[in-house]
Amino acid sequence: MKGLRQIMLIGYAIMALTMAAEQPDPIISSINDAYQQAKAAIKKNKGMGNEMVTTLEYTVLGKGKTTESLHFYFNSVQGTYLLTDDEDPHFIYYPLYFVTRSYNIGKQKYYEEYLFDSSSQRLLFVSTQDYDENGKRFDRQLYYHDGSIYYVIGPASTSNMDEFVIYQADDLRRAFDCIIRNPKE
């Protein structure tokens, strides 16, 4: 009887651990939900004026001509926001929520997606298609929480790469802000 009780307790413990392991991570679930909502908004708002496309052409030394295409997806919110003392505080604010970036270096084609929280403008998610040192293509998804990497799907990332991705996302957000506020420049 005592052995049966121990076996049942072990069985219950295994079932509890299995059920706990099957519970989705709430942070990853909320980021996945935000991603799906962003993709649905992009599809719904196609042609509504909440997308800005920028194409850049330049040469990469030793690799040739590169064409880079950036798609910025944003909402428009009317409000008051003071950027600096000498700027007009009345404007329509455009919170960025999604960016796609595609480009080539030589014959290799790259694609990246950046998901931002539209209210805080913090980076939530990055998806990249990249190449390893042997030229083999791979996908990587990076989930962010409180400004740092939370979870990675795909090849492990290095701390330098993590810093670069955050820098790249901030740079894209700043470029969007600059272009949207100064469209004639």
pLDDT tier for residue 12 given thresholds of 50, 70 and 90 = low
Angle at 145 between CA 127 and CA 138, to 5 degrees: 20
Range of the domain at 43: 25-181
Mean per-residue pLDDT, 1-28 = 62
- Residue 134 within any structural domain of the chain: yes
Query: Residue 115 has which token pair?
Result: 């998901």
- Residue 51 within any structural domain of the chain: yes
Mean per-residue pLDDT, 116-144 = 90
- Residue 15 within any structural domain of the chain: no
pLDDT of residue 185: 47
- Residue 143 within any structural domain of the chain: yes
Residue predicted with more confidence, 22 or 158:
158
pLDDT at 144 over 90: yes
Number of domains in the chain: 1
Alpha carbons 116 and 170: distance in angstroms, whole number:
10
pLDDT digits (tens, 9 = 90+) for 59-74: 888 888 889 999 999 9
pLDDT at 140 over 80: yes
**Of 145, 181, 160, 179, nearest to 71 (Cα)?**
179
Q: Which residues contact 180 (CB under 8 A, 6 or more apart)?
A: 52, 72, 74, 94
- Residue 3 within any structural domain of the chain: no
pLDDT of residue 7: 60
- Residue 34 within any structural domain of the chain: yes
- Percent of the chain at pLDDT above 70? 76
- Residue 29 within any structural domain of the chain: yes
- Residue 103 within any structural domain of the chain: yes
Alpha carbons 151 and 104: distance in angstroms, whole number:
27
pLDDT tier for residue 76 given thresholds of 50, 70 and 90 = confident
Q: Is the pTM of this model over 0.85?
A: no
pLDDT of residue 123: 95
